[in-house]
Structure 1
Amino acid sequence: MSELRQSDQLIINALIDRGVFTRTAGPQMTKADETAIQALKRPQTQQRINHYLKELVGMPPANYQENLVWFIGQPQLPIETVHVLLATLKAVINLPEAQQDTERIVNVKTIVRQVHSEVTELDEREVQRQITNLFVNRYHLFIPDAPVVSANDIVQEVTEFWDINPDFNSVAQCLVDQLQQSTALQLTDNQRVNRALLERQFISAEGDPELWQILQAHQATIVNQWQQLGRFNLECSQTYALLLDTTRRPVTARTFVVAIAVAHQLGVGVPVSEINAVIHRVMPSVLGEQTVSLPEVKKAMLDNGLAVISHDFYCQTALTSRFAVATNPEERVVHATE
């Protein structure tokens, strides 16, 4: 496997995080992002990226005019979310504002209402939340844009807009094609291990005996594959392996500490319907009279690899055992265990 350049790493890591890498430089892009966009125009860059991802997990990204889409490692989208995704693509492409060659700006409420007319099983608030998660936070195809309002103006409600990424149509086609593709691939043993690590961040000797044996036999090769991205460290103990993301940072210390404490209480699993009660029970022992948002605690557990949801149960991961939390609210300390 040829050594990856810095731009290669940036593009691949963007695909892991968002599933999309677009060729257009936007106002929020860094110099490194712009350099990566230019690098992607070179056939050698595309060849290295395709070869690396093919070797890693068995599938390179789909490429439409230097716009890349890659769904490996992303959580499987629920049926209603796929419905929102497709309805949003349709709504935007059919809007007159989206057909212009100049600035393409759409009214948020207009898009939400059109999507809601097709995705009737969700209310408008949930439709807008899912569109924002998909197109603003994940794919970066919408950029929030609100008009500047003078302090002297009397405004009942500020109209929200989204600026449409110039690559929207190309990426939309790419997304549709990816959703239609069959996921049945012939994978090598190493690719199966890497997919499990990317999707779950860990495997264990007890929970994944077959994959564990493969990892033991090919540990040096697999460790080297992940090191090439300049981001992940594959930590291997005698009973489990953890894919540690060096770029991952907790949003707030309090939320992260509570998430760790709750994860320690999951045991063999806690039903999704009962997790709020567990958080309520654990939180005072960590924070005293202070509180944090329940949804943020659940998000912190999942985002930081402390728990996974399986068959409607929150289940603890091996990563949780690496942390111990002081239960004295005055300390609020996280200790990394050996």
Structure 2
Amino acid sequence: MRAIQITEFGGPEVLNVTELPDPSAGPGHLLVDVSRAGINYADTHQAEDSYLAASTLPMVPGGEVVGTTPDGRRVVALVGTGGYAEKAVAPEALAWDVPDAIDDTTALGMIVQGASAWVLLRRSVHLAPGESVVVHAAAGGVGSLAVQLAKAWGAGRVIATASSKEKRDLALDLGADVAIDANEPGLKDALIDANGGRRVDTVLEMTGGTVTDQSLRALAPFGRLAFYGMASRREPSPVRPATLMAHSTTISGMWLAHVFQLPGDVMRTALEELFGLAADGRLRVVRGGEYGLAEARRAHEDLRARRTTGKLVLDPSR
């Protein structure tokens, strides 16, 4: 089969197309003929071995696929690694049937990015109806879905940030009440102004650096910030527990892998709600572009340069 293989860690330049033996599925696993693979920002960290889970070489990157099994099931699955290929192996417990009404890109958009938005709003910040929510990187895969879910679940005001006018316009089109420049030097005040002069209740943050710092300062008493990425690759300032107490502030971190340690099938619950909203036309995955296998380097370059919006997918047939 054709696949992308990494034999040394680094940037997009380490992604190489190669021929590899077809994988085989052992007990408890499914072989998936991949129709599309998802491309996530986490894949760029995987390639340079800076992700939360350590990478080992040689490696086929890519953590999510949609396709068919030998018995004809159409599934979307989490594979950890191995997604950027014509065939992949997935644990049976991490594969979910895709309804006929859901296309490949939508299925891939929901399994990591949609589920992340769902968990962030439902479990990390516990968004209550009427509360304000700031969604950073609102034109991205998680952000674009979080904006829509927050509106669907009764947020009082959805404040989006994005780095260009086109991305801010997209966030407004998705339902954000206001969209501001992510590079605004006085971001704290801009967030408060966007909320009608009131400090904000919740923040979904994946940028890091001063964006995190300014967002924390914009929180109202009992405000919550959920941190789920660091796209700038810059650490925020350290936070002292006494500072949290002084402002009744909550900071949480979220890595989707941990939902599988919770009681009950949280992923199935999330996906059933997400697929239902999508089938009803109340939630849409923004199509950010489709790349052939030989274009994987360009996909990572575009991601790291923040040139993308929505969901990116890889077509292993070309």
TM-score, structure 2 as length reference = 0.24
Which has more radius of gyration? Answer: 1
Query: Where is the strand percentage greater, Structure 1 or Structure 2?
Result: 2
Q: Which has the higher contact order (CA 8 A, sep 6+)?
A: 2
Query: Where is the helix percentage greater, Structure 1 or Structure 2?
Result: 1
